[in-house]
Chain A
Amino acid sequence: NAGVTQTPKFQVLKTGQSMTLQCAQDMNHEYMSWYRQDPGMGLRLIHYSVGAGITDQGEVPNGYNVSRSTTEDFPLRLLSAAPSQTSVYFCASSYSTGRDGYTFGSGTRLTVV
């Protein structure tokens, strides 16, 4: 099993550009979520999904969109990149019971200049 796969691993964007961070899992997990990690701030929840067709906002959703058309995929779209969105982004997934914790992807390092 590949687990949780994120692409790309690194990206540099210019202010105002848009892009999509890809996330796919092959574990048939119902729950998927996106986090960003900034120095001194820990990991913060951006958006999450409890199943195909269902998404909701987390702690820091502004500037980001998500969709969940399949169980496997949960892309994160940056609508108009800003320097404040420079961060490391992690996608994670879990079973709905939650007792086994979440599995994380290896992350995308995004720099907005």
Chain B
Amino acid sequence: RKEVEQDPGPFNVPEGATVAFNCTYSNSASQSFFWYRQDCRKEPKLLMSVYSSGNEDGRFTAQLNRASQYISLLIRDSKLSDSATYLCVVTNAGNMLTFGGGTRLMVKP
């Protein structure tokens, strides 16, 4: 079983739609949680950190459920420019990143 699991997609949604991604992690000692965005043939870029209290950044909302070892990302009012692969990432006690396989999002006109 992979340490961080994501549905690979692709999720094909129309502009303006709301889309949600989920991620589960197996290491209960994981300490920090992030969503990264990766465009085709580019480096991953930090989208947002994820906290148990939930956090929002514009159209993006992230949530962490430590009891269920579950992380979510909600994107509202999808834009064409949101098309990318979204990577769920956790860190262990040594602050090393463990990546999920990524979920591909395609937003269509």
Using a CB–CB cutoff of 8 Å, the interface residues on chain A facing chain B are 31, 33, 35, 40-45, 48, 50, 58, 90, 92, 94, 96-107
* A97 CB, nearest partner CB in chain B, Å: 8
User: Do residues A106 and B42 form an inter-chain contact, with CB atoms below 8 A?
Assistant: yes
User: Do residues A101 and B95 form an inter-chain contact, with CB atoms below 8 A?
Assistant: no
Write the B15-47 contact mask toward A (1 if CB under 8 angstroms, else 0).
000000000000000011010100000111110
CB within 8 Å for A42 and B31 given contacts A90-B43, A98-B91, A98-B95: no
Residue of A nearest to B94 (CB): A50
User: Do residues A98 and B31 form an inter-chain contact, with CB atoms below 8 A?
Assistant: yes
Interface residue count on the B side (C-beta < 8 Å): 22
Residue of B nearest to A94 (CB): B95
Indicate if B99 sits at the interface (CB-CB under 8 A).
yes
Interface residues of B in 91-107 (CB under 8 A from A): 91, 94-102
A45-B97, A50-B95 given. 18 additional CB < 8 A pairs?
Answer: A31-B95, A33-B97, A35-B97, A35-B99, A42-B101, A43-B97, A50-B94, A58-B96, A90-B44, A98-B91, A100-B49, A101-B34, A101-B36, A101-B46, A103-B46, A104-B43, A104-B45, A106-B42
